[in-house]
Amino acid sequence: MRYFIAINLPENTRKKILEITRDFPEKGIKKIRGPNLHLTLKFLGELDENKVDKIKQVLDKINYNKFDVSLKDFGFFPGDNFVKVVWIGVEKGKEELIELQKQIDLELKNLGFKPETNFEPHLTIARVNFLENKKEFLEKIRELKFEDNFSVSNFDLMQSFLKPEGPVYREILNVGLE
């Protein structure tokens, strides 16, 4: 099974994002389904149960304060010339997300996980295979406005099941913040 560590979004934030992505073209773009919308803190990859148990023990010891996040506006990876991912940026709470991610990296280092380099908090909302009219799509995205705020009081260890209709995520461990 594949695993990752994430901050899952509140339901009202998910609904707002789905309203926006509803108008994305269906052809060539794979929109992230509502239950799968999250802020990734670390991708762990394929793991056996023994390693997962050790990760749970390490994550359960992390002490970090609750904080607020504001999501705002859109961007593309790797860039406008070659669009593979459409994302929403993090404005408020960006430093806290980076610090939380660093703490997770530090704790997982002893289990053989390499630290992230250039971690940039963002929320992936769609993956692009191809665009029939890239210029029109990019203009449409640039015209869209999005802003939402929520409190982060926990993060989760998630398990990913790959299915033909897309991945299905299951929470394995919920780590509360102070």
pLDDT at 166: 85
pLDDT at 142: 87
Residue 142, CA distances (Å) to 31, 53, 66, 86 in order: 17, 43, 32, 11
Q: Compute the distance between CA of residue 68 and CA of residue 70 in angstroms, rounded to an integer.
A: 7
Catalytic option among 8, 76, 122, 169: 122
Specify the CATH architecture of the domain 2-176: Alpha-Beta Complex (3.90)
pLDDT at 153: 98
pLDDT at 151: 98
Q: Is the pTM of this model over 0.75?
A: yes
pLDDT at 176: 97
Catalytic option among 6, 7, 8, 38: 38
pLDDT beneath 50: ranges in the chain? none
Residues 50-101 have pLDDT tens digits of 999 999 999 999 999 999 999 999 999 998 888 999 999 999 999 999 999 9
pLDDT at 80: 80
Query: Could you check whether the bond before residue 164 is cis, i.e. omega within 30 degrees of 0?
Result: no
Q: Compute the distance between CA of residue 126 and CA of residue 165 in angstroms, rounded to an integer.
A: 15
pLDDT at 165: 83
Contact between 121 and 97 under an 8 Å Cβ cutoff? The reply is yes
Known catalytic residue: 96?
Answer: no
Known catalytic residue: 7?
Answer: no
Q: Where do the structural domains in the chain lie, given as residue ranges?
A: 2-176
DSSP bridge pairs for 168: 161
Which amino acid is residue 9, in one-letter code?
A: L
pLDDT at 79: 83
pLDDT at 132: 87
φ, ψ of residue 101 to 5 degrees: the values are -60, -40
